[in-house]
Chain A
Amino acid sequence: MNRFKLIPIFSILLVFGGSTISDAYAYIDPGSGSVMIQGLIGALVGAGIAIKLYWAKIRMALETKFSKS
């Protein structure tokens, strides 16, 4: 994978990333690249978890509705 292929990935990352937070007292360097990628991965997995949760809720709602009818 060359760096040009990564541009869309890092663009998404910036969208998911965003605003600011004050400096916390980290004594280890989290590393620029590590900070930038974790937002993306977290967002992807976080979205997956959210979809799963909502899907379960929707399914339950549908099942309740159909079982009643």
Chain B
Amino acid sequence: MSGPMTGPMTGGTAVVRLDGVGKTFQLADGSSTVALSGIDLSIGRGEFVSLIGPSGCGKSTLLRLIGDLTHPSTGSVTVNGKSATQARLGRDYGMVFQAPVLFEWRTVEDNVKLPLELSGMERAERSSRADEMLALVDLVDFARHHPYQLSGGMQQRVAIARALAFAPDILLMDEPFGALDEMTRERMNSEVLRIWEQTGITVVFVTHSIPEAVFLSSRVVVMSPRPGRITRVVDIDLPRPRGFDTRENRRYFELVTEVREALRGSDLSSASDGRLEAEGTIG
């Protein structure tokens, strides 16, 4: 497997490119809120980039802009040299949300097959591909179960298997482990890293958790609210493969501190504005 190397990939072809991106939401009372302003960011092939910041900093909105679930008010989003819309229609994205968003009427296996059905894959091929993905997230024994029979962590693993099923170019993850307990979250982090190393996929990962961002990423993008903007990008030069030892590494603590200080500098004093992220959802 040609897995990603240590450290950030710089100078390679940009998979995601944001130029002067801004997003303004019109609120119901006629006023408007600037959710994002002046965002420039380039993400290289095979990178693992985390977006971190306080609530209301627009990190989820930024992810949704990349995934074409919402459109920028200013600037441009380019994905694999195409517009975000073309990339979405070309099925370049796999998405994992905070909730697993599994269809309860489908078995685990059939949930994973859903995107394959939509892309018109042959039945036999769908089955073997779903088996492969369930093996990747270690859920082969639960193929015939329904989602309600699985724990939260297992459900989120199904969601990851589904997102990866049609081998998308980019995996967009919006606080995927935010609802899980700390132990499960750490296990899931290792799982995601293993999958990333095996597949070489580009990952954009939104999180509230500093340790999670540092442990996973090749770069951590620190954001601040009102208006949402990038205040700092921290290169994470921890050696790979990362595992249990990484979390006890001195460099790990230094980087956690660095990100934490970058966050403190990014104006935490102003209370978060939950409306921003709520406004981002498309009905």
A and B interact physically: no
Chain B interface (Cβ < 8 Å from any Cβ of A): none
